[in-house]
């Protein structure tokens, strides 16, 4: 067999998995940065909607109910976008949610995975080092592979929530634009 058809060595597999983990970390940071920007944008849009929308409601002009509805919908969409952002920036709330997103149920060995942060933090340093030293190459490879899979699933979930947050924000922008046009042209 030629070199192209040879199975990867242990070292090559580890390098491959570590490269994936590094790329996933960069994507995770990118998602969190986007959510932070979106939260700041939501705060600005919320202030503007309250500043323009609430006085429009109080004025009781001829299209009073349209302004009330637009203001309420714009506020709702901005608050919904902020809610989605909070879902990402806060840690996963329950073991059930973690298990669903990260597919933990199909891995009974998850209780013994020594690279998961929730597991690492339960050990004293000496005990953790002892456990690490007992791992075989295959166990290390299995645990890294599981970590890559779970981080990828978590990132997929976060991108989905990012999409929902962006859509909610854009609805708020459109509703605010309609509210602003009414305020400019009708008064």
Q: How high is the pLDDT of residue 65?
A: 75
CA–CA distance, 56 with 66 (Å, rounded to integer): 10
Q: How high is the pLDDT of residue 1?
A: 44
> Does 61 fall in a domain?
yes
Helix/strand/coil percent split, the chain, to 5 = 85, 0, 15
Q: How high is the pLDDT of residue 119?
A: 65
Q: How many domains does the chain have?
A: 1
123-135 pLDDT per residue, tens: 788 887 787 777 7
Query: Do the beta carbons of residue 113 and residue 119 sit within 8 Å?
Result: yes
Q: Domain of residue 65: give its range.
A: 20-185
| Confidence (pTM) | 0.71
> Does 180 fall in a domain?
yes
pLDDT tens digit at each of 187 positions of the chain: 446 777 778 888 888 888 888 888 888 888 888 888 888 888 888 888 887 766 666 666 667 777 778 888 888 998 998 888 888 777 666 667 666 676 655 544 444 555 555 566 777 888 877 877 777 888 888 878 887 888 888 888 888 888 999 999 999 999 888 888 887 887 6
> Does 169 fall in a domain?
yes
Angle (CA) 112 113 115, round 5°: 145
> Does 68 fall in a domain?
yes
CA–CA distance, 142 with 112 (Å, rounded to integer): 11
CA–CA distance, 41 with 105 (Å, rounded to integer): 37
> Does 8 fall in a domain?
no
CA–CA distance, 179 with 142 (Å, rounded to integer): 56
> Does 9 fall in a domain?
no
> Does 124 fall in a domain?
yes
> Does 32 fall in a domain?
yes
């Amino acid at each position: 067999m030629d070199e192209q058809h040879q199975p990867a060595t242990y070292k090559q597999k580890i390098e491959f998995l570590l490269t994936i983990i590094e790329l996933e970390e960069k994507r995770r940071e990118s998602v969190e940065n986007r959510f932070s920007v979106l939260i700041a944008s939501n705060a600005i849009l919320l202030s503007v909607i309250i500043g323009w929308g609430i006085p429009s409601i109080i004025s009781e002009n001829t299209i009073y109910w349209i302004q009330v509805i637009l203001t309420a919908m714009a506020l709702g969409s901005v608050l919904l976008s902020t809610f989605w952002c909070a879902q990402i920036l806060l840690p996963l709330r329950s073991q059930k949610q973690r298990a669903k997103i990260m597919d933990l149920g199909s891995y009974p060995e998850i209780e013994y995975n020594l690279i998961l942060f929730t597991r690492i933090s339960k050990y004293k340093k000496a005990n953790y080092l002892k456990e690490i030293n007992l791992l075989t190459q295959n166990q290390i490879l299995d645990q890294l592979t599981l970590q890559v899979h779970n981080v990828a699933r978590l990132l997929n979930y976060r991108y989905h929530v990012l999409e929902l947050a962006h859509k909610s924000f854009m609805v708020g922008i459109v509703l605010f634009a309609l509210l602003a046009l009414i305020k400019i042209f009708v008064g």
